[in-house]
Amino acid sequence: MDLSSMDLSGAQWRKSTRSQGTSNNCVEVAWLTGGVAVRDSKNVSGPALGFTNTGWAAFIGGIKAGEVQ
């Protein structure tokens, strides 16, 4: 998904409740129309990675299957 033309300023970013507290090793996820954006929680003004809904499902499926670490 090409995020270069998308305005993420209104995106509602979330991070896992397991990442709350003192840990700074987190990513945040925002659900968008037609896709998902992911960013580093330590660099919220930095770049975001975009996935289509299908791509996101494949990525999460790969994590659950142990294909992505």
Q: What confidence tens digit (pLDDT) does each residue in 17-39 have?
A: 777 666 667 889 999 887 899 99
CB 61 within 8 A of CB 51: no
pTM of the model: 0.76
pLDDT at 41: 87
Domain ranges of the chain: 1-69
CB 39 within 8 A of CB 28: yes
Q: What is the mean pLDDT of residues 4-21?
A: 76
pLDDT at 67: 94
CB 21 within 8 A of CB 47: no
